[in-house]
C-alpha cells in the first residue's frame, strides 16, 4: 500500500486529451470532521478514507456550473448550466492517488443528470436548485423532485486566504473515484490553483448530508467554511487501471 501522494495546489497535467470541461463559480465549501470508521463503508472498493489532522472530512458544496462541454463540443446552452449542490467525501487508493468520492449531486437539468449518470457513473439527482446574490451574501437552495431531501445555505464571502494546509487538503483534489458495474475508476481533472477566501456561514438547513448516509453531521456547525469565485476545470479519461472491484 503506497502512502498518499503529497497535496499540491498545482494540478498534474492530464495524460491525454480532455474529455469534458466545466466552469465552476461562486462555490461555498462547508466541511465537517468525521471519524474515518464512519466514512469507510461509504467508499467504493479499493478506496479508503483520506485523513487530515486525525480525521476525514465530509463536504457540502453548492455552486454554479456552466460552460459545460463534452468530448470537444462547444459549451452546451441551457442543459450545461445549472446550480449544483454536492455531498462529497475524500479517499485515497492503494496507489496513493487522492480523490473525491461523491455521495450525491443535485442539479436542475434532467438531461444533465441523465448524461452524468450514463457517462461518468455519478449519483446525480434531479432537483430544483437556485443561487441568488443579496448584496455581499449568497443564498443557495435545493429541493429534490418528488419531495426528497432539501438544502438551504446562506454565506458571506470574506478575505482572500494565503496557502493553508487544511484548505489545500479540502480543495486541491485532482481526480474523483467512481464506481460502475462493481469496478472503481479514477477520473483525473485539472484547473488553475483555487482562489480561496474565508467565509461566514449565516444559515444552514440541510437534509442532503443525512440522506447521503451521514445522519447528524449537519446538526453541528461546520469545522471549515470557505469560498471561491471559481475555476474552469478539465476532465481526463480513466486513470491507470481499476482501483478495486471485479476484474
Under 8 Å between Cβ of 45 and 247: no
Superfamily of domain 20-245: Acetoacetate decarboxylase-like (2.40.400.10)
Assigned C-alpha cell, 1: 500500500
Higher-confidence position of 141 and 16: 141
Residues 95-108: pLDDT tens digits? 999 999 999 999 99
Assigned C-alpha cell, 87: 455531498
Mean pLDDT computed over 136-155: 97
Residues 52-95: pLDDT tens digits? 999 999 999 999 999 988 777 887 776 789 999 999 999 999 99
Dihedral sign of CA atoms 8, 11, 13, 17 in order: positive
Q: What is the pLDDT of residue 227?
A: 98
Residues 187-216: pLDDT tens digits? 999 999 999 999 999 999 999 999 999 999
Domain extents for the chain? 20-245
Residues 173-191: pLDDT tens digits? 999 999 887 789 999 999 9
Mean pLDDT computed over 14-42: 95
With b meaning 16 or more CB within 10 Å and e meaning fewer, what string describes 163-190? eeeebbbbbbbbbbbbbeeebbbbbbbb
pLDDT-derived band at 140, boundaries 50, 70, 90: very high
Amino acid at each position: 500500500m503506497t502512502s498518499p501522494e503529497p497535496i499540491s495546489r498545482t494540478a498534474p497535467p492530464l495524460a491525454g486529451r480532455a474529455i469534458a470541461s466545466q466552469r465552476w463559480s461562486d462555490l461555498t465549501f462547508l466541511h465537517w470532521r468525521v471519524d474515518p470508521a464512519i466514512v469507510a463503508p461509504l467508499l467504493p472498493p479499493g478506496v479508503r478514507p483520506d485523513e487530515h489532522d486525525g480525521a476525514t472530512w465530509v463536504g457540502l458544496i453548492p455552486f454554479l456550473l456552466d460552460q459545460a462541454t463534452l468530448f470537444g463540443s462547444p459549451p452546451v446552452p441551457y442543459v450545461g448550466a445549472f446550480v449544483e449542490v454536492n455531498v462529497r467525501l475524500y479517499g485515497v487508493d492503494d496507489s496513493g492517488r487522492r480523490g473525491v468520492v461523491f455521495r450525491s449531486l443535485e442539479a436542475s437539468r434532467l438531461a444533465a443528470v441523465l448524461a452524468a449518470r450514463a457517462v461518468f457513473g455519478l449519483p446525480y439527482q434531479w432537483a430544483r436548485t437556485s443561487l441568488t446574490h443579496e448584496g455581499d451574501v449568497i443564498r443557495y437552495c435545493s429541493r429534490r423532485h418528488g419531495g426528497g431531501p432539501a438544502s438551504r445555505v446562506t454565506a458571506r464571502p470574506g478575505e482572500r486566504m494565503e496557502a493553508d494546509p487544511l484548505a489545500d487538503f479540502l480543495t486541491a483534489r485532482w481526480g474523483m473515484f467512481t464506481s460502475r458495474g462493481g469496478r472503481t475508476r479514477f477520473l483525473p481533472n485539472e484547473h488553475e490553483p483555487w482562489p480561496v477566501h474565508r467565509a461566514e456561514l449565516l444559515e444552514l438547513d440541510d437534509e442532503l448530508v443525512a440522506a447521503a448516509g451521514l445522519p447528524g453531521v449537519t446538526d453541528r456547525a461546520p469545522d471549515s467554511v470557505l469560498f471561491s469565485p471559481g475555476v474552469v476545470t478539465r476532465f481526463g479519461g480513466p486513470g491507470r487501471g481499476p482501483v478495486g472491484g471485479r476484474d
